[in-house]
Structure 1
């Protein structure tokens, strides 16, 4: 829920700034900036609060290497955020594939993987340091995960599937 509010507000802010600077972003561009800023924030937080906020969320089978998984997902979030922000034309000039698109796809995959921690917190009835909203919050989080996955795929043009080019 907090992440949804964060990326929504960041998207609105990106759209507003683009209008004020006469560099209009379309909806996908604003959503891409919102998602990038959200992942930048949470990626940094994985390193700042990893042991106290994120490690306790992991299922028992992953606790032996909990900080490894927390730092890995934090690094993935930071790299994904950077990948979303680098303009596609930069990749084109360097002769590289569109890494924005790849960043969105891999962030969606990561979001599918981390839903395990969200479900674990809900099932265990745990609270998370800094997110003491009550048990209801942790039951809503896994339900929002498909929204975040679709957001990541939409903002890079993967979903809905682009129309196939017509051949004459």
Structure 2
């Protein structure tokens, strides 16, 4: 029982941290889209509108993650979102795109790309979709 409480405390802390991160990045997408536009792949239609919509989705997902009724779907949707934006992260790295006049090297891009699957897991864990690797998720009766 104590282990279950520790797991839920960790999940709660990670949920709030992830929600804060998505919330603030969502605001950045809306207020300062230039850097995001620079790394958006050319095959994305209406890039400015897509960047705005992704900001709205990040903010909505962050708020939903903090709502008990919406938490599970928010975790799933934020995980899917993290998968969908991965091509922009790859483009940023491979094409050495400067943002604000700054080119970031592989010291940034390597860990950033490697961390993307962690963000997917984090959203699913914070949303209560899964417990892995900490245990099996119990089905409710």
TM-score (norm 2): 0.83
Considering only aligned residues, what root-mean-square deviation do their CA atoms show, in Å?
2.0
Greater C-alpha Rg: 1
Superposed, 1:60-139 pairs within 5 Å as 60-62=42-44, 65-86=46-67, 88=68, 98-129=69-100, 132=102, 134-136=104-106, 137-139=108-110
- Give 1 or 2: higher helix fraction: 1
Conserved? CA contact 1:104–1:152, under 8 Å: yes
1:26 is paired with a residue whose SS is helix
- Equivalent in the alignment of 1:56: 38
| Distance in 2 of aligned mates of 1:58 and 1:106 | 20
Conserved? CA contact 1:105–1:152, under 8 Å: yes
Number of matched residues? 129
Q: Structure 1: state its 5+ residue gaps.
A: 1-24, 89-97
| Distance in 1 of aligned mates of 2:64 and 2:139 | 25
**Candidates 30, 37, 46, aligned match of 1:47:** 30
| Distance in 2 of aligned mates of 1:73 and 1:142 | 19
- Which 4+ runs in 1 deviate beyond 6 A? none
1:60 is paired with a residue whose SS is coil
1:43 is paired with a residue whose SS is helix
1:61 is paired with a residue whose SS is coil
| Distance in 2 of aligned mates of 1:78 and 1:41 | 8
Superposed, 1:123-162 pairs within 5 Å as 123-129=94-100, 132=102, 134-136=104-106, 137-159=108-130, 160=132, 162=137
CA offset at residue 164 of structure 1? 4.2
CA offset at residue 149 of structure 1? 0.6
- Equivalent in the alignment of 1:10: none
Q: Structure 2: state its 5+ residue gaps.
A: 1-7
